[in-house]
Structure 1
Amino acid sequence: MSITNSEQLSHNGAFLGRRIVRADGVAKVTGRADYALERDLTGLVHAVIVESTMPSGRVGNIDLAAALATPGVLRILTQSDALPLQSCAMVPAGSVMESFLPLQDDRIRYSGQPIALVIADSFDHATEAAGRVRVEYKSEPAVADIDDPKAKSTDVPGAPSSGASRGDPKAALAAATVRMEAVYTTPREYSCPMEPLGAIADWSDDGNLTVWMPSQWVEGARRAFSDWLAIPMEKVRVVSPFVGGGFGVKVTAHADSLLAAMAARELRRPVKLALSRPQNFTGNGLRPAIRQKLTLGASDDGKLQVIVHENTSETSVDDDYVEGGAATAKVMYAVPNLSATQKLVRINSFTPSWKRAPGEAIGAYALESAMDELAYMLKLDPIELRLRNYASQDPDSAKPWSSRRLREAYEAGAQAFGWARRLPEPRSMREGHELIGWGMAGGAFPNVHTPGEARVTISADGSVDVASSGVDIGGGTYTILAQAAADAIGVPFEQVRVRLGDTSLPRAPVAGVSQIANLLTGAVDKSARAAREELLTLASSHIGSPFKAKRVNDFTIKDGRISPTDGSAKSITVAELMRAVGRDRIEVTRSTMPADKASSEAEQRDAYNSFKYMGPSSATHATYAWGAQFVEVRVDEDYGTVRVRRMVGAFDCGRLYNPRLAESQWKGGMIMGIGEALLEAIHIDRRYARITNNNLADYVLPVNADVPDIEVISVGEPDLHASALGGKTVGEIGVVGTAAAIANAVFHATGKRVRDLPITMEKLM
């Protein structure tokens, strides 16, 4: 679905940087937004997964008699007759997060694993039949979680984002006059998108597959289906124009969408598979439970000499998924000696995956809590301790920062919060039975950049069409790309139409790691400027043009009108020029692929269908977004209940293309941080290694009553090392540091240091 904006605007000045409302807002609130599963194809049938109720072992006999007798049942697939599948390479070389392939063997890896698929003429019939499937199991011992007595940890040498060393940490720790050591734990957390996972799959008579699915990366899903089903990529189309929340769980395709494609191929009919809410929890999208041991060594004046970060996290029995928290520790402070190690604990669970700010969110919680503890040991203000260890360049790579206005973020946030009024001693601020705590923390998130591609079309009526397979997962990509195209060409914002989320459009990488706005504005700007130049070339040289003997540089375009800069002729609209020169369209496609790679089709496929090119956006500078969080909590002295009363966040995210949307992203991240600190935790029944709170009633999330007044401040400036138009990552930095700021505020209020999230009342009593 394409998106336009009918809001009337005055067109004085650039659109980028303005607080324009969402181009897709009206479509969403009126129900016109085209979500993946909201379609009814001719001949559509429904599939429902039968899940294993055992966490480990083998599938024995499967009795299908009662299920097959259910009205409307068309087929039941099991490992005995399912389509054979091929593996797909995992990220970063490939495009999936787990190696598991459904219905390919009798091995049980986790409770909730698909072991059969019922296809029927209606969802109700399929659900009824799935409940009648009877399964015999050959059970084996399972490891339920990271704290299971049977759990064993193994080293992961050189784990990406975690394994690191600089200086001589052992000697530095021995020489440090002040040492702080603590273990911080975070439970499994679920991404909780409002829109559940699922897919509609349809095969054409000539063997082409179309899949409608909620996806943050349609090009990656396209490659996955190609690999899994052993068909050329050109025969796969993935469509995802709108996504009802992603947060990482929808970065890659999972077993649900593959099962829909398998069933559709077997029945030669379109198949819809929509996961229930519990199936979302028991099949995809967990941040694993993590144990982080932080050791800080410092001098008496608070100068850090060494950081030792020991990280242990859960993974599945099949895959080495690493959620390393040391990425923040490596760059946050000027510390000459650092050691970061990673261990994994294999448990009977599906393979974990990304949740908003993977690694950075949990890493900042541990590091910034430890810094707060060190500040109390040294009797220093927490901000002062951070300033004494301020890194003037990247301590890990020794590169200069592309920009780092973290000091300004501390200052602006402290000023807005009123930090100078804070009484430093714990339990020194109160109001009646409420203990008042003020806490703060800092955070960083890397600015990564992969190539993107966009097509810009100027039509005969003067409208502009922008197209890319990149996905808008709620951050405002539809709006920002329209702003970028309007600026580059010189037309009104409401005349720009944007189409996204379809592999039939020009290619783009994942809408993840907060990169999509930066990379696609660069591609759109490049394409739009090329289209503008072609338009002005027609104005200056075409025999039908009313302008004579002008050069391209002799024109301006503003509000959709073309004018000679010397005022020698009356301006005309873009539509009038197109009619005069007899053109029905100008169409330009450009990419931001590196010049030495752009000619290679293999290189381009890798750019859009793997993480091969994902990395810092500058070879010469270290590029990060920065944030400082300030929080006030109120803790009931009698009951131990914690309420966040107000929050202030100050951020350096470079140039803001649309401050309204950026502020919304920051606030959303901070609200997610409330959940991380105080509410969210997956609970496991050790007997069956099964998630017990697999729904939005029992998995506790922040609601409106939990959200306080939130003030967000931008201290950033355009950073052209970070992206073509000067922006830096926005979407995930808001959550980084929030949990630590809340935990630090709780300690200030109560004098009790809770190092095991979430902070619940029984931990404070």
Structure 2
Amino acid sequence: MEKQLTNPPIDRVDGRMKVTGAAQYFADFELPNMAYCVLVGSEIGRGTITNLDTKKAQGAPGVLGVFTHQNMPPIPGWDAPVGGEADGPAPKPKTEETYRILSSPKILFDGQPIALVVADSFERATYAASLVKATYAKQTARTEVEKHLADGIAPGRPGSSDYLRGKADGYQSAPVTLEANYTIPIEVHNPMELHGILAHWTGTDTLMLYAKTQGVNATQQAMAQAFKIDPKKVHVHTEFMGGGFGMGLRTWPQETAVVAVARKIGRPLKLVVTRSQMFTLVGHRPYTVQTINMGADTNGKLIGIAHAATAETASYEDFTEATVNMTKFMYDCPNVSTRYRIVRLDRSVPIWMRGPGEATGAFALESAMDEMAHKLNLDPIEFRLRNYTETDPEHNRPYSSKHLREAYQRGAEAIGWNKRTNEPGSQRDGDWLIGYGMSTGTFNAFRWEASARALLKADGSLTIQSAVTDIGPGTGTALTMIAHNVLGVPLNQIKVEYGDTSLPKAPTQGGSAIVSAVGSAVFDACTTIKKQLIELATKAGGPLAGRQDDELAIADGMLSVEKEPRRKVALSDLLRANNLTVIDKSADSKGGPELGKYSMYSFSVHFVQVRVNPLTGVVRVAKAVSVADSGRIVSPKTAASQMIGGVAGGIGMALTEEALIDHRFGRFVNNNLGDYHVAVHADVPAIETIMIDKPDPIINPMGAKGMGEIALIGFAGAVANAVFNATGQRVRDLPITPDKVMQKLA
């Protein structure tokens, strides 16, 4: 009865709600007697508040309170050592500094909240916040990574230690060598939906939250820890989210402060941060400097790679990410060493962002691979194939699946790679130089523990329940397809309920793992229902009595004998005949020990054609092809949408996005969407997506691996490589802006 299905491309199940305004985001909720709060940020990057004047703000119309370090309500869980669960979903290594919002006059970063103003309307709170005045004893703020590279320290997190396979300097013995430095600037999430929270104490120790979070269960646990209450008494709701990008992967201090103040004033309290505060209060991609040393023989076989990265973190918290990890296993190379360091600066703490550190690391590694291919006079794809590996050299075990060769081939055919010449600057179209580039991306394919509930009702409808938050990739649509494939219930009779802690527990949406994790739980719950249906149908006196499981098919709400299609029974009739109003099954799902025997990754290959104007330095991505090797594609339409979104973000990463700091003051100078340039429609060409669509036999029962991260990982490198092919000039510092191109061409 089990068959692999090629799924049809269906529309998003929540699409109509989103485009008609029926979908409610956290800020859309209005509660009786609700108050509003606005944060006042510091105007210095480091120092101490010497005077804080709040009298005018307190006397402004409608103001219910002004909270500062002098009168902030206590947060019981923050008595624990810094780095506990009250600060977020994972412990943080202790640093010399401690940051507790509104607990001290000490300023650790520009924009740090110094006051929280509460009023009976958002407009009144905003006006009153403008009346808060502070004076400071300023100190010099350290905000520049490059000036403090020597201060880099090894992180204390597991998995962040230096790595060595073979010799650390093995590349030096190679006849062809490369040394290059690559820089990624600060990049800021900037989804359409601003960050915030709505907190309502419904009792002395019962809390209702409408939050912008990528994991309602994680927020539930963080708030329970912070206020020392039973997690079951914290109810978190996040059904819709207008873009996460990583900013919702933790519970931020300002969220906890709002909950504390809501308890103090005895009213529901809503915070929506400003666009400029999105640059300082909810994380960002950390500024990172990388060095690649690479060596190969004259036949194009890698002999050694050394990859070193240094990234910024905050003075009060050590943030780390997997910047150098791809280098450890991507290519067959006997001598590989990696080193990762962090520099503590007077900046707000970074967070994982759109492809996390792998996107940062892939830019350096894949640019270096292109540079080395050019030195060897090899086609960049051919160079990668000469160093292709069928097994993971880091862990010395097989991949659960890997179809990267096919991805190279199909992407090259789609982009017209045969039109590319190895000689840079040799192709023109009128005034424009033409170049082709490609790059590989990869990300861990995870399967976390998750739960789900399935309810098949006597009217033939099916309800799927999970607490998982759908941050936009189409999780509800994917879960609908999984349930449809297992039980054959028509798509329009399946409803997915999600984004609420009252539902079965689910992991935080991040790391491209939700379809694998929650999808497996949905699969298992629906499979259990299917088994019961078969038992009811094939028992003595049943409509399909005597038939075996492998003789049956389930589709279109019917259970039938596959070779006798007229012999069938509607699932709804089967329930009614057995006096059942519903079959209700739950499943807790997780991977077994077999997962530890394999290395599990998703892979992508990005191809681009760029046009570069040598007179202006303008770079245009004229064509993009992205190929995904991520197992079975559960929902083709939303999968393609994920890849397209990754390309759009990748174009921004490659060509436009850069948060700039005036290091004299430690302040952003472009903390708005007028000066911080995200990719817009004019920057994004038609994008072709290709899915290898071959099931992974190990990771989960659907054979599906994650896709969200690989949609962006590697893309910036493809653009940089294409710019080199077009101009003969290598830009190693993102973004590739016209001034940098012109400087190289001059």
TM-score by length of 2: 0.94
Provide the residue aligned with 2:113 in structure 1. 114
Provide the residue aligned with 1:59 in structure 2. 49
Task: Please list, as runs of the form range in 1=range in 2, the aligned pairs for 1:328-367 lying within 5 A after superposition.
Answer: 328-367=326-365
Shift of 1:335: 0.7
Letter in 2 for 1:679: T
Residue-by-residue CA offset, 1:663-688 (whole Å, 9 max, x unaligned): 11111111111111110000102222
Residue-by-residue CA offset, 1:26-80 (whole Å, 9 max, x unaligned): 1111111121111111111101111111111222322111001100001111112
Shift of 1:546: 6.6
Task: Please list, as runs of the form range in 1=range in 2, the aligned pairs for 1:9-158 lying within 5 A after superposition.
Answer: 17-85=7-75, 86-87=77-78, 89=83, 95-96=89-90, 100-147=99-146, 149=147, 152-156=150-154
Pick aligned residue for 2:589 from 588, 592, 595: 592
Decide whether the 8 Å contact of 2:463 with 2:495 is kept in 1. yes
Which has the higher mean CA deviation after the structures are superposed, 298-307 or 64-73?
298-307
Decide whether the 8 Å contact of 2:442 with 2:602 is kept in 1. yes
1:404/1:73 Cα in 2 relative to 1: closer, same or farther (>3 Å)? same
Shift of 1:167: 3.2
Provide the residue aligned with 1:703 in structure 2. 680
Shift of 1:694: 1.1
Residue-by-residue CA offset, 1:578-636 (whole Å, 9 max, x unaligned): 3333322221110114679xxxxxxxxxxxxxxxxxxxx82111111112221111111
1:164/1:435 Cα in 2 relative to 1: closer, same or farther (>3 Å)? same
Which has the higher mean CA deviation after the structures are superposed, 242-251 or 568-577?
568-577
Shift of 1:561: 2.7
Matched residues in 1 for 2:404 and 2:164: separation? 23
Where in structure 2 are there 5+ consecutive unaligned residues?
93-97
Letter in 2 for 1:417: I
Provide the residue aligned with 1:227 in structure 2. 225
Provide the residue aligned with 2:614 in structure 1. 637
Which has the higher mean CA deviation after the structures are superposed, 342-351 or 579-588?
579-588
Matched residues in 2 for 1:636 and 1:441: separation? 23
Matched residues in 1 for 2:497 and 2:366: separation? 41
Shift of 1:402: 1.2
Pick aligned residue for 1:273 from 271, 274, 287: 271
1:339/1:554 Cα in 2 relative to 1: closer, same or farther (>3 Å)? closer
Letter in 1 for 2:623: R
Provide the residue aligned with 2:703 in structure 1. 726
Matched residues in 2 for 1:199 and 1:586: separation? 37
Decide whether the 8 Å contact of 1:547 with 1:569 is kept in 2. no
Matched residues in 2 for 1:528 and 1:631: separation? 41
Q: Secondary structure at the match of 1:498?
A: strand
Decide whether the 8 Å contact of 1:720 with 1:727 is kept in 2. no
1:316/1:538 Cα in 2 relative to 1: closer, same or farther (>3 Å)? same
Provide the residue aligned with 1:390 in structure 2. 388
Matched residues in 2 for 1:457 and 1:212: separation? 26
1:305/1:554 Cα in 2 relative to 1: closer, same or farther (>3 Å)? closer
Matched residues in 2 for 1:168 and 1:14: separation? 42
1:277/1:718 Cα in 2 relative to 1: closer, same or farther (>3 Å)? same
Shift of 1:762: 1.1
Decide whether the 8 Å contact of 2:489 with 2:556 is kept in 1. yes
Task: Please list, as runs of the form range in 1=range in 2, the aligned pairs for 1:530-545 lying within 5 A after superposition.
Answer: 530-540=528-538
Task: Please list, as runs of the form range in 1=range in 2, the aligned pairs for 1:413-424 lying within 5 A after superposition.
Answer: 413-424=411-422
Provide the residue aligned with 2:570 in structure 1. 573
Letter in 1 for 2:72: A
1:141/1:457 Cα in 2 relative to 1: closer, same or farther (>3 Å)? same
Matched residues in 1 for 2:175 and 2:493: separation? 65
Provide the residue aligned with 2:437 in structure 1. 439
Residue-by-residue CA offset, 1:329-362 (whole Å, 9 max, x unaligned): 1111001111111121111111100111111111
Q: Secondary structure at the match of 1:201?
A: strand
Provide the residue aligned with 1:485 in structure 2. 483
Shift of 1:123: 0.2
1:263/1:94 Cα in 2 relative to 1: closer, same or farther (>3 Å)? closer
Shift of 1:219: 0.9
Matched residues in 1 for 2:412 and 2:559: separation? 48
Matched residues in 1 for 2:124 and 2:576: separation? 57
**Aligned CA-pair RMSD:** 2.4
Matched residues in 2 for 1:557 and 1:357: separation? 38
Decide whether the 8 Å contact of 1:152 with 1:346 is kept in 2. no
Shift of 1:166: 3.0
Decide whether the 8 Å contact of 2:324 with 2:340 is kept in 1. no
Shift of 1:640: 1.0
Residue-by-residue CA offset, 1:77-105 (whole Å, 9 max, x unaligned): 11122122224756899605877431122
Provide the residue aligned with 1:194 in structure 2. 192
Which has the higher mean CA deviation after the structures are superposed, 447-456 or 556-565?
556-565
Where in structure 1 are there 5+ consecutive unaligned residues?
1-12, 597-616
Which has the higher mean CA deviation after the structures are superposed, 688-697 or 87-96?
87-96
Residue-by-residue CA offset, 1:488-533 (whole Å, 9 max, x unaligned): 1221111111011111100011111111112111110100111222
1:120/1:333 Cα in 2 relative to 1: closer, same or farther (>3 Å)? same
Decide whether the 8 Å contact of 1:169 with 1:307 is kept in 2. no
State the aligned residue count: 731
Provide the residue aligned with 1:603 in structure 2. none
Task: Please list, as runs of the form range in 1=range in 2, the aligned pairs for 1:154-165 lying within 5 A after superposition.
Answer: 154-156=152-154, 160=158, 162-165=160-163
Task: Please list, as runs of the form range in 1=range in 2, the aligned pairs for 1:497-646 lying within 5 A after superposition.
Answer: 497-540=495-538, 556-563=553-560, 571-593=568-590, 618-646=595-623
Shift of 1:540: 5.0
Task: Please list, as runs of the form range in 1=range in 2, the aligned pairs for 1:175-214 lying within 5 A after superposition.
Answer: 175-214=173-212
1:334/1:225 Cα in 2 relative to 1: closer, same or farther (>3 Å)? same
Shift of 1:555: 5.8
Letter in 1 for 2:572: A
Letter in 2 for 1:125: R
Pick aligned residue for 1:750 from 714, 717, 727: 727
Residue-by-residue CA offset, 1:275-326 (whole Å, 9 max, x unaligned): 1111111211200100000000111212111111110000000111113421
Provide the residue aligned with 1:600 in structure 2. none
Provide the residue aligned with 1:250 in structure 2. 248
Residue-by-residue CA offset, 1:636-685 (whole Å, 9 max, x unaligned): 11111111111112221111011111111111111111111110000102
Decide whether the 8 Å contact of 1:161 with 1:326 is kept in 2. no
Decide whether the 8 Å contact of 1:297 with 1:305 is kept in 2. yes
Letter in 2 for 1:129: A
Matched residues in 1 for 2:156 and 2:63: separation? 50
Matched residues in 1 for 2:403 and 2:590: separation? 29
1:14/1:625 Cα in 2 relative to 1: closer, same or farther (>3 Å)? closer
Decide whether the 8 Å contact of 1:288 with 1:323 is kept in 2. no
Shift of 1:722: 2.5
Decide whether the 8 Å contact of 1:151 with 1:346 is kept in 2. no
1:590/1:582 Cα in 2 relative to 1: closer, same or farther (>3 Å)? same
Provide the residue aligned with 1:5 in structure 2. none
Letter in 2 for 1:47: C
1:91/1:160 Cα in 2 relative to 1: closer, same or farther (>3 Å)? farther
Letter in 2 for 1:108: I
Decide whether the 8 Å contact of 2:245 with 2:353 is kept in 1. yes
Decide whether the 8 Å contact of 2:85 with 2:222 is kept in 1. no
Identity %: 39
1:338/1:595 Cα in 2 relative to 1: closer, same or farther (>3 Å)? closer
Provide the residue aligned with 2:636 in structure 1. 659
1:395/1:91 Cα in 2 relative to 1: closer, same or farther (>3 Å)? farther
Matched residues in 1 for 2:669 and 2:87: separation? 35
Shift of 1:385: 1.0
Provide the residue aligned with 1:605 in structure 2. none
Shift of 1:753: 0.9
Provide the residue aligned with 1:283 in structure 2. 281
